[in-house]
Every structure is written in structure tokens, then in C-alpha cells.
Chain A
Amino acid sequence: MRLENFVEGTDTTRDGLTGNATAVLHEVAELLVALAERGETGIIDLGGMPLSSADKAWLAAKLGQGEVQMTLNLDGASEVRETAFHGVWWLVHHNEKGVLTGEFIEISSVPELVSAHPDDIRQAADKLGFLINDL
């Protein structure tokens, strides 16, 4: 018996939309305005509200595909892709068993997870220095 055969009991119209996807899109729009005008980043947890698979498909279709697609190997694969709207990123996290562990929409110039941390950069600089010394 496959898990996917069972549907969560959300109220749906015949095309499977609950109406929650529209709400999420509104939130994305608001956060994007905040980013544009005040530089404030935002993040929406798609696992935090009831969204049917039709909802997610609708949202993905509305946000579209951008120019950037990244795969992160972090104890399981994570995919980061930019949507057709600059600053709106869609993140999907899996664990090593391939099970979905989280899905987020992040509104920022680049997702927090992707940019390198200053401390890490400092450490890397030292490390590269040592590597060159040993040449």
C-alpha cells in the first residue's frame, strides 16, 4: 500500500484547490514588496499550512521558473530554484533517504542557505593559504 494513495482530508473543489495557495501567493507578493522597498528578507514554510498537491502545482505554475537552479548536498539533497520573479526562491529539502523534510519559499536576494558565511570564508582563506604554502 503506497502512502501516496491516501489523500489528506482537506476541503477541495473539483480541481483540488483549497484556496490556500492564493493566500500564499498574496503573502509572497507582500514580502517581495518589503524586500524591494526596505531590504527585508522573508521566508514562508509551505509545510506549515494545509496545501494539497494541486495547490502546490498551482503555486509553482504561477511563480514559474527563473534562470537559476541549484542542487545542495547537505545530508540529503536540497534543491533551490529561482522562480520567474527575482528574489523569490523555492527550496525543497530531502534527507539521505530521499524523504521530503521541508519546503520553503524564501524572499531574499539569495537564500540564506546558499551564501557563504563570513566565518567560513575566514577559515577557508586560512586553509587555502596553507595549501599554497605547501605547494
Chain B
Amino acid sequence: MGELQFLTWVRGTGLNLAISIFLLGVLVRIIEIYSLGRKKDLAEPRSVAGASGMNTVFRRSIPADGMLKTSPITYIGGYVFHIGLGVVVFLFAPHIKFFQDLLGFSWPGLPSQAVDFAAVLTIVALLLILIDRISKPVKRYLSTFQDWFTWTLTFLPVLTGWMAVQHLLLPYTTMLALHILTVELLLVFLPFTKLFHAFTVFGSRWYNGTVNGHKGVAV
């Protein structure tokens, strides 16, 4: 299969399949999880300052006492790569064009050099996080196949996208096609792995905060 034909497939059939599976999976799991609801807590609700769903959502964005010193790479690396990923995915003009086609509206983007800088930061942060996971014995012990797999799924799209723009390793057409393919793989596996936290993290925090806030405990 020629370069352009590969690209056309990933832009056409591949994309169709990936987004379909992604939407299917996301909807199944969101409805499945959120429809479980909560068991009614018949006790008298206590009201303590700082103990509520919303409070927990924001509080857990900050490292707990002493944790930043113990595990700086986890927090700093984590924030850098999440923010960098957000910038690269949502503020790069060709990507905005893609969303415009899907959603019907668009938004202003950043100059390509700014996105390039963000991409490099993201790649470095992801690599540091991986090295940290490998070198810290406890982290390594706790890591399962899914941890390494989801790291790879997240890393490859950023790496291949950046390499395509920089014209590295393979001809541009092939590199671009590989980038789109890795994005499709990420989409396909996201709803069925821990990557689904993208849709559940805030809901989960809010749930914990509300349940415990009812009991008067700030978590």
C-alpha cells in the first residue's frame, strides 16, 4: 500500500471505526457507571466547612501534605504533561480544523511554534514519568501491563505528531499516517482502560466528597 493510500485509510475508514468504538465505549460506560446512583444515606446530614463534593474536586488537584516533596515527578510531571497535551490537542490549528469538522464550531489556536514547545515539554514529562515508574521500586511493583500499555498509547500520538511536523525519521506522509493511527488506537482503548478517568475523575471526586461530607468529613 502506498504512502498516500495508507494516509487515506487512516483518515477515512480507520477514523470512522475508531471514533465509533470510542463513542460506543464511552456512552456504555458513562451510562453504566452514573446510572448506578447512590444508596440513600438516611442519617442526618452534617455540614462542615470544606466538606462537600465541589471542595473535594478542587482540593484533590493539590498534592496532599508532604507528597510533593516525596514524589515531585508524579505531580509536576503529571501536571506538565496533562496541560501540554491539552494545549497540543486543542490549540493546534490543524487539530482545531478536525474538531470543527466533527462539532461544527471552532476556536482560535496558538502559533505553531508555541504548540511545538508544548509538545516537547509533554514528551519530556511523559518520559520522566516513565523513568520514575521504573526506578521507584514501589511504583514498579504496583505497575501492571495496563499501566505500561496506557502510557504507550498516550506517548505515541504526541511523539509521532511532533516527529511528523519536524520531518524526522520517515517521510512526512507516512509519519502523519502513523500519527493518526496511534491516535485511533488511543481512542479505541480509552473507554476500556484507566484512561477513562478522563470522564470519571471529577465525578469520582465529587462522589467521594459528597458522601463523606454528608458524614461531616472533609476528604
A contacts B: CB pair < 8 Å: no
Q: Please give the residue numbers on chain B whose beta carbons come within 8 Å of chain A beta carbons, in ascending order.
A: none
Q: Please give the residue numbers on chain A whose beta carbons come within 8 Å of chain B beta carbons, in ascending order.
A: none
